[in-house]
Amino acid sequence: MSNVTLHTLTERKAAGEKFAVLTAYDATFSHLVSKAGVEMILVGDSLGMVLQGHDSTLPVSLDDMAYHTGAVARGNQGAMIMSDLPFMSYATVGQAMESSAKLMQAGAHIIKIEGGRWLCESVALLSERGVPVCVHLGLTPQAVNKLGGYKVQGRTRESALEMIEDARKLEEAGASMLLLECVPTVLAQEITMNAGIPVIGIGAGPHTDAQVLVLQDMLGITPGRRPKFVKDFMAQSDSIDAAVRLYAEEVRNGSFPSKEHGFE
């Protein structure tokens, strides 16, 4: 696979071609996932739960994210790397600049931040300075205490309209991508259709331009209850490589996610 860039993925959206995103946190899985043809690797702050054993993403530090981004970059074979800015590392514009620089220097190609239109100033300044930004809307895990748990967002007309407006203003500010987590399928479809930038979904139905899952979730090895939006691809595969390739294939041909993986 030749190196995937932001231009590559924007062209995919324009052509109506879907692309696959998976998490990875180390060089070994980065190599495997990128060799299997997954277009984008997310170095997620989900590592706080998956690798560190916390019950949320909040304890993850910027140093943690830089360390794992560097490891992923060294194993990567051409995928685009997106890294999360962790909790309270972008609370001010100055923090957003410094934190983003650290992750880009570690090997990220785009950074991801959680929040709504209050991020517009940071997004605009980062974009002007050559840092692509993906903004995470819907269920934002760093705000889990304010949201009252891991709940579907945008189910009321008022909250749906607010999310639509957030998406519009953030794109105008210079966001290069959006990520929608746990939002109703119809709302995700509306945002995706109106956006001129790629929209990644997780628990957001089949109409987004891309899908993302946590690697350990799609391999069926995460302990505890499996979220509704997760599918165990190892159940149909005889190796991790085969499971990753199947995931990427089903995302691209639109068979994943199916209706059972979304929310009304």
The predicted-structure confidence for 119-144, as pLDDT tens digits, reads as follows 999 999 999 999 999 999 999 999 99
Q: Is pLDDT at 1 greater than 70 in this prediction?
A: no
Tell me how far apart the alpha carbons of residues 164 and 192 are, in angstroms, rounded to a whole number: 10
Residue positions in the annotated binding site? 45-46, 84, 112, 114
- Per-residue confidence (pLDDT) for residue 9, from 0 to 100: 98
Is 90 within a domain? Answer: yes
Q: Is pLDDT at 149 greater than 90 in this prediction?
A: no
- pLDDT band of 147, cuts 50, 70, 90: confident
pLDDT one-digit tens code per residue, 66-113: 999 999 999 999 999 999 999 999 999 999 999 999 999 999 999 999
Which own/partner pairs from 152-160 qualify as long-range (CB within 8 Å, at least 24 positions apart)?
152/182, 152/183, 152/184, 152/203, 152/263, 153/181, 153/182, 153/183, 154/183, 154/184, 154/187, 155/184, 160/184, 160/187
- Per-residue confidence (pLDDT) for residue 148, from 0 to 100: 83
Is 234 within a domain? Answer: yes
Beta-sheet strands, E only, within 89-189 = 110-114, 133-138, 177-181
Q: State which H helix or E strand residue 199 sits in.
A: strand 199-202
pLDDT one-digit tens code per residue, 9-38: 999 999 999 999 999 999 999 999 999 999
Instruction: For the chain, give the mean pLDDT.
Output: 97
Q: Structural domain tally of the chain?
A: 1
Average pLDDT over every residue of 180-192? 98
Q: Decide: 195 and 166 in contact? Cβ < 8 Å.
A: no
CATH number, domain with residue 15:
3.20.20.60
Residue positions in the annotated binding site for Mg(2+)? 45, 84, 114
- Per-residue confidence (pLDDT) for residue 150, from 0 to 100: 87
| Residue 181 a catalytic site member | yes
Q: Which domain holds residue 42?
A: 6-261
Average pLDDT over every residue of 230-249? 97
Is 240 within a domain? Answer: yes
- pLDDT band of 222, cuts 50, 70, 90: very high
Q: Which of 181, 190, 249, 260 is catalytic?
A: 181
- pLDDT band of 188, cuts 50, 70, 90: very high
Residue positions in the annotated binding site for 3-methyl-2-oxobutanoate? 45-46, 84, 112
Is 1 within a domain? Answer: no
Tell me how far apart the alpha carbons of residues 43 and 240 are, in angstroms, rounded to a whole number: 19
Tell me how far apart the alpha carbons of residues 58 and 87 are, in angstroms, rounded to a whole number: 6
